[in-house]
Each structure stands twice: as structure tokens, then as C-alpha cells.
Amino acid sequence: MNLNEAYSGLKQQADLLSQDNMLKDENYAQQLMNSILSAMNSIVDENLQLPKVEKLASDISFNSGDQIIARDLFIEDQIPEGYQLIPIRQLISQWTKSEFEQASRAVQLLEWRRNHKFCSHCGHETEVHPTEYAMVCPSCRYHQYPRVQPCIITVITRGDNEILLAKNAKNKSKMYGLIAGFVEVGETLEEAVKRETLEEVGLHVKNVQYLSSQPWPFPSNLMLAFKAEYESGEIVLQEEEISEAQFFKFDQLPETPFSGSIAHAMIEHVIHNKPMHKD
């Protein structure tokens, strides 16, 4: 089966991350493939392990030199025998934190390279910098570096036993999540937390405190986790973003985000006082 067949004719490329912890030959590594246009799938075997490949000149190396690579695959590339495509989101709870972070980095570097083939200043075709993560314009020398999108996510409590959970309007499942949104130009993270909460659910919050962060490669976000306390206001939904929101008692929670997501860790943190970091 090739990728074309796997995606039922969707025009996609696939990304590929390699990791070599145990192989002695540095020309070989394990791989991870992610689709670009769909839900970012990876190719894994039945044990969720990555296939081995030979390193190519066009691969992006990172972390430990040749030991970890990222690569774009093309639609005609074959899925190795015995491997399958699985969305990366589904692998988050199966993989270790470090495996997910490597995959996250690979996805974002490949996406950045793919989106910066031309100079955004003068329009000339760019070249890959030999040693840095930079796409360089040979005509005007403008350097384009990978960027992350800062995105705040907030767990809001009321009193000592209630938590605000909200349903994303685009998500048709029963799952409730947390208030989240992109940081705007010129705004502090704390201001972003207050603005997003007011916009999405009409509430004022206080005592905004930083908790933790997580790279989130869908497509290139850095999730910055905060906790905040309810201050005032009645819930008024921003209907294009949020379909439902309410305060839930700690012992009467609806379905919440899966283990491995930062939202899960945040909810566990406020309800069960669990640390945000396991390591």
C-alpha cells in the first residue's frame, strides 16, 4: 500500500522523523511519518515503533546530529510492510514525553521548511542554511527562522471545588476542555488569559498564575498553561467558538481531555493537586 492509497487519493505529503537509540549504524534510524494536510499521521508498527531508514541529504537533523532526522515523504512513497498510519494525536498517550517532543519538533521543522521555500521579503527562492535552522535568501540575504505560535490555555476555578469546562463549537464529541486561544501582538500572557476568558465565556478572572508549557505541533503552537480564579460575571458564550460552558463540581466532571495533553495535566493539578511535570 502506498500513501496515496492510504489517504484515499488525498493529495498529501508525509513527514518523517527518525530516531536512533539502539542502532549502531548511524546511516540507519527509526522513522516517523506524519501527513501534512490531514490529521498528521505517523507510520508505526504494531508496537507503535518507527521504521528504520537510510539517512538522506535532504533530511533535517536535530538533537543528536545524525541520530534523529525529519523528512518529507511524497504521496507515492510506500508504507513499509507491517506498518500502519496512525494520527499523532492518538499516539501521545502511548509515547513517552520525549518521543512526543521529538515528533513535535520534526513536524514543526518540516512544516516551516515547506512554508518558506521563497523569500518573504523579495520573493526569490530560498536555500537551506547549512548549519542553522534558517531558510536564507541568496538574493537579499533575508533569513527566515522557525517560529512558534504562543497559545494560552487556562484552567479556571470557582471556590475550592468547582472548575470551568467548555465545549469547543467545532468538536462534536462529548469532551469538555479548557479556555484557550492565541496570544495577540503586543499583549502579555496574563492579558491574553483574561481577554480569551472574557471573549469566550464572558467571565472576569483574577490571580492568573503560570503553570507549565507544552509544544503542540498542530500545527506549530506552544501551549502556555495558566490557572486563574473566577472573579465576576455570568457565563455568556461566544457561540462560534464555544457551544457549552459551565462550572462543574470536582466530583461530577464530564468527559475531559486525554492523558498526555496539557489540559489533562492541568485538570489533574487543580483537582487532585498533582504536579504538572512527571519528570
Residues that bind Zn ion (CB under 5 A): 119, 121-122, 124, 137, 139-140, 142
Question: How far apart are CB 137 and Zn ion at their closest, in Å?
Answer: 3
Give whichever of 145 and 258 is closer to Zn ion, judged by the CB atom: 145
Give whichever of 123 and 233 is closer to Zn ion, judged by the CB atom: 123
Give whichever of 7 and 142 is closer to Zn ion, judged by the CB atom: 142
Question: How far apart are CB 112 and Zn ion at their closest, in Å?
Answer: 17
Question: How far apart are CB 127 and Zn ion at their closest, in Å?
Answer: 11
Give whichever of 144 and 221 is closer to Zn ion, judged by the CB atom: 144
Question: How far apart are CB 126 and Zn ion at their closest, in Å?
Answer: 8
Strands (E), 100-220: 127-128, 135-136, 143-144, 149-158, 162-168, 179-182, 204-216
Question: How far apart are CB 108 and Zn ion at their closest, in Å?
Answer: 23
Distances (CA, A) of 124 to 57, 130, 271: 23, 18, 53
The helix/strand/coil state of 198 is helix
Question: How far apart are CB 258 and Zn ion at their closest, in Å?
Answer: 43
Amino acid at 150: P
Nearest by Cα to 69 from 81, 55, 82, 79 = 55
Give whichever of 43 and 137 is closer to Zn ion, judged by the CB atom: 137
Helices (H), the chain: 3-6, 88-91, 97-114, 189-201, 262-272
Amino acid at 183: V
CB 87 within 8 A of CB 34: no
Give whichever of 128 and 235 is closer to Zn ion, judged by the CB atom: 128
Angle at 101 between CA 207 and CA 90, to 5 degrees: 95
Helices (H), 25-160: 88-91, 97-114
Nearest by Cα to 181 from 165, 160, 199 = 199
Give whichever of 128 and 270 is closer to Zn ion, judged by the CB atom: 128
Question: How far apart are CB 216 and Zn ion at their closest, in Å?
Answer: 31
